[in-house]
Amino acid sequence: MDVGSAVVMAVSTAIGLAILEFGSRYVAPAPAQPSKCYEPVPEYVFTLRPGSKGAITLIDNDDRRITVPVSISEQGIRDDRIYGPKSPDEFRIIMLGDSYTMGHGLKTDETYARVLERRLASAGIGKRIVVINMGVGGYAPWQEAGFLQERGFKLEPDLVIWQIFPSNDIAGTYSRLNKLLPTFDVQWERCYYNFRRQNEFPILAERWLQTHSNVYALISTNYNYEGPVMKCLADLRMMPEYKYPRLVPKTDRHWLREPCLVEWYPELTEAFEMMCADIRALKEKCDSRGVDLIGFAHSDEISLFPQAWVVLNEQSHGYQYVMNKDIRVTQECFQSAGIPYAKVTDALLALPEEERLEVFYRQDGHFSPAGAREVGAALADYLVAEYFPRKKH
């Protein structure tokens, strides 16, 4: 092939790839991309990057594609305010948790931290209530406890409200030991694994392509996020030896339902007991600082529909589930640790069916704006009825 033909072929290929890339951005949905709001830390794998900005794109319950901006303050939390020394008339509450608390798919003012603050402002508590959002997407309880230690306690909280999503947090606790349950979220565990080793060249290249190319990100989803370029680079003889094992679940059970199994197996029990130990440890840290701690546990949409569990058990072969067992055992863990807890799921179950259908983003699984309002209201009702009256005595 002469030089002219090679140039023509190269230009034609580049034009074709450009057309494919721009076309995919209009025709195909953008898959999840590596976020710019996180940075690595040795102790907790990753944390929020102070001063960073990002966005979350999802499909809402009206089948509209929405993009929600995310800003991380200079104090390293998802907030649009900077918190100085606490004033004498101020009562500070920290909301601690994962992406549900951080507000995945919600504007800052739609998060249940802000809903709670507005509800308490009109409740006649006697002090000015300030609620600080310290949720971090992807965190498990052991990481949340570390985040509170590193960035939260310095904000002088009077109360910490800790959100636990046991369906995810039990597995996230096990990941601390680089262990996986028999069923797991392949996409998340691959991202988590890659983040642990993100400074290796194959993973750097993979993240760059997923961030900058919609076509490549779509291709990656068809490889179960195993990363075709990452794998090819790792296999090159001229590269240092990199080994990236395939992550394959050992069962087809849905990973979010695993803690609701009637019969638990040793690994699941071990992971849950580890999570409870982390919960007890944070209780001790709060007590040593004179900070009150309240918990609440929740699950996803199926937790609000009893009939869905009947159908689930009818379709299951060789194993059965107990509705909301994950929430119950977590509340028992709170109780054994001496942590009062709000029964948020009970409040959501009491809603009319048409309202329960709107609590979560149906395609994404996180709380919708309507759901965040209900969670914030349930927490406010609990604090007004149970917590603040006890504080007066």
Residue 100: other Cβ atoms inside 10 A: 26
pLDDT digits (tens, 9 = 90+) for 21-54: 555 455 555 555 456 899 989 899 999 999 999 9
Residue 128 clears pLDDT 80, i.e. is over it:
yes
Sign of the alpha-carbon dihedral angle for 147, 99, 82, 378: negative
Out of 35-39, 121-125, 372-376, least confident range: 35-39
DSSP string, 364-381: T-SBPHHHHHHHHHHHHH
Q: Is the pLDDT of residue 120 over 60?
A: yes
For the chain, what is the domain count? 3
Are 202 and 152 in the same domain? no
For residues 75-104, average pLDDT: 97
Residue bearing the bigger pLDDT, 3 or 165:
165
Select from 184, 161, 366, 314 the least CA-distant residue to 259. 184
In a domain, 244, yes or no: no
Identify whether residues 265 and 338 lie together within a single domain.
Answer: yes
Look at 225 and 331; give whichever has higher pLDDT.
331
pLDDT for res 187: 83
Domain co-membership, 270 together with 377: yes
Q: Within a domain: residue 6?
A: yes
The answer to whether residue 51 sits within a structural domain is no
Kindly state the tokens that stand for 260.
């609701």
Whole-number pLDDT of residue 299: 98
CB 345 within 8 A of CB 305: no
Indicate whether 60 belongs to any domain. no
Pair (157, 276) in one structural domain: yes
Clarify whether residues 277 and 197 are in a common domain.
no
Indicate whether 213 and 361 sit together in one domain: no
Question: How would residue 245 be classed by pLDDT, with cut points 50, 70 and 90?
Answer: confident
Please give the pLDDT value at position 148. Answer: 98
Q: Which of 15-19, 225-229, 259-263 is most confident?
A: 259-263
- Whether 171 and 192 share a structural domain: no
Q: How is 338-361 classified by DSSP, letter by letter?
A: T--B--HHHHHHTS-HHHHTTSB-
So what's the pLDDT on residue 19? 60
pLDDT at 30: 52
Q: How far apart are CA 268 and CA 184, in angstroms?
A: 12
The fraction of the chain above a pLDDT of 70, given in percent, is 78
Do 343 and 360 have their domain in common?
yes
Whether the predicted pLDDT of 93 surpasses 90: yes
**Looking at the structure, do residues 173 and 273 belong to the same domain, yes or no?**
yes
What CATH number did the domain enclosing 164 receive? Answer: 3.40.50.1110
Structural domain includes residue 168: yes
- What does the pLDDT average to over 263-270? 98
pLDDT of residue 15: 64
Which residue has better confidence, 17 or 307? 307
* pTM attached to this predicted model: 0.85
In the predicted structure, residue 198 carries a pLDDT above the cut 60? yes
Mean pLDDT of 129-141: 98
Do 23 and 164 reside in the same domain of the chain? no
Beta bridge mates, 131: 93
- Residue 233: its pLDDT value, please? 47
Chain mean pLDDT for the chain: 87
| pLDDT of 234 higher than 50 | no
Three-state SS annotation for 65-124: EEEEEEECCCCCCCCCCCCCCCCCCEEEEEEEECHHHHCCCCCHHHCHHHHHHHHHHCCC
Reported as a pLDDT band with limits 50, 70 and 90, residue 196 is low
Domain that holds residue 268: 92-178+252-391
Q: How far apart are CA 337 and CA 281, in angstroms?
A: 9
Instruction: Report pLDDT digits (tens) over 149-188.
Output: 999 999 999 999 999 999 999 999 999 999 999 999 988 8
Q: Can you tell me the distance from the alpha carbon of 223 to that of 392, in angstroms, rounded to the nearest whole number?
A: 58
Q: Is 207 inside a domain boundary?
A: yes
pLDDT, mean of residues 138-155? 98
> Is there a single domain that holds both residue 273 and residue 384?
yes
Q: Are 255 and 185 in contact (CB under 8 A)?
A: yes
* Judgement on whether residues 169 and 260 belong to the same structural domain of the protein: yes
Distance CA(232)–CA(241), nearest Å, equals 12
